[in-house]
């Protein structure tokens, strides 16, 4: 599935680990990534709401 040379690449090692070992590392990393995306989306939403609120107040 993945091209392999003399050393395994990170995607190949991750895929092999998922198939051969039950380890919580991949699940923990994915949870951290999801949490980071949610935080960034929340910050973006708050910043965008504050900027649009200032624009509406300034025009009135």
User: In a structure prediction context, what are the per-residue pLDDT tens digits for the chain, which is 60 residues long?
Assistant: 456 567 878 888 878 877 777 778 778 888 999 999 999 999 999 888 877 776 665 554
CA nearest neighbour of 2 among 10, 12, 13, 16: 12
Domain ranges for the chain: 10-59
How many Å is the Cα radius of gyration of the chain? 21
| The pLDDT of residue 2 | 52
Count of residues making up the chain: 60
Q: How does 11-29 read in b/e, with b if 16+ C-beta sit within 10 Å?
A: eeeeeeeeeeeeeeeeeee
What lies within 8 Å, CB to CB, of 9 at 6+ separation is 2, 3
pLDDT of residue 57: 54
Flag whether the pTM goes above 0.85: no
């Amino acid at each position: 599935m993945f091209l392999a040379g003399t050393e395994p690449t990170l995607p190949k090692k991750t895929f092999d680990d998922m198939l051969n070992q039950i380890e919580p590392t991949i699940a923990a990393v994915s949870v951290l990534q999801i949490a980071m995306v949610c935080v960034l989306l929340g910050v973006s939403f708050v910043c965008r709401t504050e900027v649009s609120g200032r624009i509406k107040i300034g025009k009135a």
